[in-house]
Chain A
């Protein structure tokens, strides 16, 4: 019994950078995408997360029947919105790159992403900020309101616990610092090297932090000079407008590009001119932007110029991961504990309406009887006595419903909860609340994590929605 949350997306594990950059979106277009998602009749709430390595939609379907139907409809809607987003002619074109998670596994996925268990660099801290940004954007756009919002908020708590209770983030290694390490393997010592940051966003800030203590100097070149100047103040760097990019490249040795430009900011012709002015001195580009900022042909065609994008850093990332893998088990234990708690909450959420309805009905019947008596035989009673009788009915309701309420709440976390809810609804003629199919447990565990064993509810059909880490074809 859980919420039919759906996650559909693509990451560095399923799609190369050429594909990811087609999906990537800056903060400026987020409201538009979110509006498109929530405008769909099949989607109730949605969040759009776009990072260098991951683009995904987290959605909560509208209840349109069974869990399966709601999930399937939302999945179609999300895929279709993604197709529109990149202007692809058909959903099939995307299918091989997209992964899909539903229900409990979607919740687990959201928690794992926030906790940096799904990041290219295990334990890197940027992802939490990026999820928070996506959350803020979705809240601001009115796309996150209640249950999905609660799920993502819970993911922040999970991430915080993982960071403080394990060593997963120890010796913080991000893509930026991995890139710095590669720069050191090219130049040896960075103390006599100048680093140019093209872009002044979060990734540029991370790069500035990594390089700040090691490089001779940092220069920042950005389309918005004001933003470059602000960042430069923080890191004792030199800011320059984007118009001076060529002269800045001549002065620099390591270039970290992280702008949100949709086209190449650093072109082959530009670097050709720059290399002439540099008299062939080595120039190393670290392109951590998606879409890429640096023309990859520079690497192929120009001597002494090297371009590495986020995918190229995979090798380095893999090395760093080795030392962090020991902490994965502890982090996953936290995630699993939190997923269980979430499931309990989600299940109790499905029981609560029945309890509320039961209380309302019981109290309503008793109060109606009391009102009738007060209008005839007990007409002589004063205000104080009438109030005492109302109080008595309140107490009687509480005492009468204490045992069934407790039983229902206890059963909420178990498979028997479904039967009890149904029984209560039938026996007391209560209005039907969340469709019974929603109360089904789901599905086999994803390969990268070991979820707690899920016991199928007796008498209920087998899990209905398949999901896995594998690439899924579009439905």
Chain B
């Protein structure tokens, strides 16, 4: 099939998954201890408020009607109301989403940008000091809890050596980009942005980086031992071409598969990283909402997180199919 049809098929599957996500969250509402009203009403709500909530939730309606209403509101962008915070859930959740996306992207860029070269170098200079270091580092990286790493990074690089900021988010990436107009604000904003995002991105990205390094290394070693590599060298192709155009490309395919699967870890890791660095994103919102028993916001966050994950996976699959046309014919 053509790539276009492949993409369409993946999108269609993605929609199905999103529908599944949304439905599970709907079910969660009834799994909350106490009635479904408790899932929405704050603890100190009086009778009148509770009745109003019951009416709004349509709890007196049959189940399939409730479900239908729920889906319809979601399509209209209405995720309910947080009585605890006194705000629309959708407003709250989408206002925090950019911060998390920014952090996750930064971590991914850091991770992939460093790990693939490291993995390649490690494979091509096997058993030399570089390889040992890389192996050690990547073993440590997948074994270190990222919140602990974050705390240590803060201690070392933000407190002892005042290089980075200890916490918070001052400037959004888009603000940095927008300031490209003039040199002065651009540099200032860029500096502020880097000072705040570097440590959390590193803490979040380390697991990923270690994982990809390991995979790239073992993948490259496999590929470099294969017959077609010997054949290519025999043909007189320059080593660089052999390694990067052929071997690496074939290595990246399984690596990307795993990356896609690991994205969940990255988003989950973002939750903890946000907690350590007081990064005001979805992760912080999720934790705060649980502590405040603000279930509507928790549900809204789950929906947004799940949907984002599906979107990213579709994207990864498209990249995957570009690298390996064989996939399209699945």
Whether A associates with B in a native complex is: no
Please report A residues at the B interface, Cβ cutoff 8 Å: none
